[in-house]
Amino acid sequence: MTTAREIMTGGVECIGENETLEAAGRKMKELDVGALPICGEDNRLKGMITDRDIVIKCFAEGGDPRTTKAGDFGQGKPVTIGADDSIGDAIKTMQDHQVRRLPVIDGHDLVGILTQADIARNYPEDRVGELVELISFY
């Protein structure tokens, strides 16, 4: 059984809940990623923010990314997967919550991000289309 830990992207960086969306955007550019975990002062995961969130929920609504805090987007309990959970569990979680990225947690520690692409790279080639269909938004 392949686990999330085995195929996740490790070494993930967070944006602090009190940092601005401007800082989040800069960090996304620097890391060449489209999403960042939001971590609190206690180093616990508070949520996720995407480049789309910044554009749709801030810019398009007249917000100022220089003053809007990343933590404003991290309300509620984030959808995560355990580091030792199976890829089948990860696919089911992605499907149930219609997300393409899952923070990977070991205990209370964020240890990586598991993306749809991470799974696809490790999925039987003849079933990748099925995987994308299961997780993709409708």
- Give all domains of the chain, ordered by start, each with its CATH number: 4-135 (3.10.580.10)
pLDDT tens-digit profile of 65-111? 999 999 987 766 789 999 999 999 999 999 999 888 999 999 888 99
Q: Using pLDDT thresholds of 50, 70 and 90, give the confidence band for residue 43.
A: confident
Does pLDDT of 137 surpass 60?
Answer: no
Interatomic CA distance for residues 102 and 10, integer angstroms = 12
Residue 101 to residue 88: CA distance in whole angstroms: 14
Predicted structure pTM score: 0.84
pLDDT digits (tens, 9 = 90+) for 112-132: 999 988 988 877 666 666 666
CB 114 within 8 A of CB 86: no
What was the pLDDT predicted at 44?
87
State residue 7's pLDDT score. Answer: 94
User: What is residue 3's predicted lDDT score, i.e. its pLDDT?
Assistant: 94
Question: Given this model, what pLDDT does residue 76 score?
Answer: 67
Looking up tokens 């939001």 gives 38
42-67 mean pLDDT: 90
Residues 117, 123, 127, 131, CA torsion sign:
negative
Query: How far is Cα 2 from Cα 32, in angstroms, rounded to an integer?
Result: 27
- What is the chain's length? 138
Q: Which amino acid is at 96?
A: D
Q: Tell whether the model's pLDDT for residue 61 goes beyond 70.
A: yes
Cα end-to-end span (Å), the chain: 29
Encoded tokens for 109: 């520690």
Average pLDDT, rounded, for the chain: 88
Contact criterion met (CB below 8 Å) for 21 and 51: no
